Amino acid sequence: MALFEYSALDARGKRVKGVVEASGRQAANRQLRQQNLFPEQLSEVGAETAGKSVRWSKRVQTLQLAVATRQLATMLAAGMTIDEALATVADQQDPPALARALARVRDEVLQGTTLSRALQGDGRIFPEIYVNMVQVGEASGTLDKVLQQLAEFLEEQARLNARLKAALSYPVLMLLVGSGVLGFLMVFVVPKVTRMLEDLDQALPLPTLWLMNVSGFLASFWWLMVGIAIVIYWFARRQLKKEHWRLWFDQQKFSLPLFGPLLLQSATARFARTMATLLHSGVSVLVALDIVSGLLGNQRLQSLLQDVSRAVREGAGLAEPIRKGNLFPAMLPQMIAVGEKSGELEQMLFKVADNYEYQVETRLNGLMSLLEPLMILVMGAVVGFIVLAILLPIFQASQGMG
């Protein structure tokens, strides 16, 4: 069997692209015509080449996937079949990876595969939560509604990520620019000025000597410092692949001054919203816990949620194991306990997510408003020290001449 990439027109005259598996070119043509597709281009490719654009492309952005999901939900609610909706949505996508993935999913659906099973082939594009919610929607006959909920969840995640990036962009840019300017001054400008100061043939003040020593070291051994930084980074990456080091590192993140509470609140908000969305869609608590533990990106939280999952499997509620884990904020298990008693667990989790997302945004804005003037003050102090160290010997020389 060979793989063929095709560009074809469907029954409505819309152009669709995808990959089809057949014994030969004629068989591929027959297979496409059986699907009411009329090939314009058909080219044979290897299995690795056919999937390369999807597997090795950049991960599709959350907002792009949310937009495609909302379009798919709208078309299904309007009465379109799954294959028609997939073809239409794939044709409207700008990211090539997402367009190719949707075209491949449509091909598998036309061959009799369920949508949820077809989505499993592209884990980098369609995360586990996506596949499981689609599976629940197919089983309950409410696929359009589930996709609508999934689109809202993805949009909320994209909005939170965008707010975090926007808040961090200015300080990060300022740090990079300031560091680059200081590095340029210390490596290229200061050595030329200090050579002129040495020609004054007088005792140099202590700040000037310090500046000359630091600048000389950076100018002579900058390559060594870069090499050490690369070695440290490589060693740290290698060590963090070991489970016990990764567990320790992820635990220490929450103990960082200023940023530790922010990271914990962000993880709590993501846990609560993802659990609420899954439970609201009909996913069981145990399956939801397994999915969420893999989405948080923290080994310590994953270990805790595995313990919670075992406790729930043994008959415990959700609130008590989370409280005993002593990691999440106290508000989370308290709200979960109220939700379990009242039968409104999903609504309580949504409220927790809203609360902590607001706290994350507020804390981050306050932190950035503190860091920005602090960075300006530090940069000003360093530049002021350089200027002072350069001007002091010049003042001394002018006074001696007077």
Please check whether residue 284 is in contact with residue 337, taking contact to mean a CB–CB distance below 8 angstroms: no
Q: 356: closest CA among 267, 277, 235?
A: 267
Could you tell me what percent of the chain has a pLDDT over 70? 91
Beta bridge partners of 168: none
Domains of the chain (ranges; CATH) run 2-126 (no CATH), 149-402 (1.20.81.30)
HSE (side-chain half, CA atoms, 13 Å) at 179: 6
Tens of pLDDT along 239-251?
888 878 888 888 8
Backbone φ and ψ for 80, nearest 5 degrees, come out as -75, 150
Tens of pLDDT along 331-390?
999 999 999 999 899 999 999 999 998 888 888 888 888 887 888 888 888 888 888 888
Q: Give residue 96's pLDDT band: very low, low, confident or very high (50, 70, 90).
A: confident
Tokens 């409220």 correspond to what residue? 351
Can you give the pLDDT at residue 52? 42
Mean predicted lDDT score pLDDT of the chain: 82
Q: Report d(CA 145, CA 161) in Å as an integer.
A: 25
Burial level of 94, CB count in 10 A (0-12/13-18/19+)?
A: exposed
Question: Across 12-26, 96-110, 303-317, which has the greatest mean pLDDT?
Answer: 303-317
381: tokens are 């102090």
Q: How far is CA 250 from CA 70, 261, 264, 297, 341, in A?
A: 34, 13, 11, 9, 33
Calculate the CA 306 to chain-centre distance. 23
CA geometry: angle at 373 spanning 370 and 379, to 5°?
A: 130
Can you give the pLDDT at residue 248? 87
As a whole number, mean pLDDT of residues 56-71 equals 75
As a whole number, mean pLDDT of residues 187-196 equals 78
Calculate the CA 117 to chain-centre distance. 24
Among 202-206, 271-275, 352-356, the range scoring the smallest mean pLDDT is: 202-206
Q: Give residue 231's pLDDT band: very low, low, confident or very high (50, 70, 90).
A: very high
| Torsion angle in degrees (nearest 10) through CA of 313, 316, 318, 320 | -140
Kindly give the interhelix angle for 299-313 and 243-253, rounded to the nearest 10 degrees. Answer: 100
What are the residue ranges of helices labelled H in 17-95?
A: 25-34, 47-55, 62-77, 82-92
Prediction pTM value: 0.67
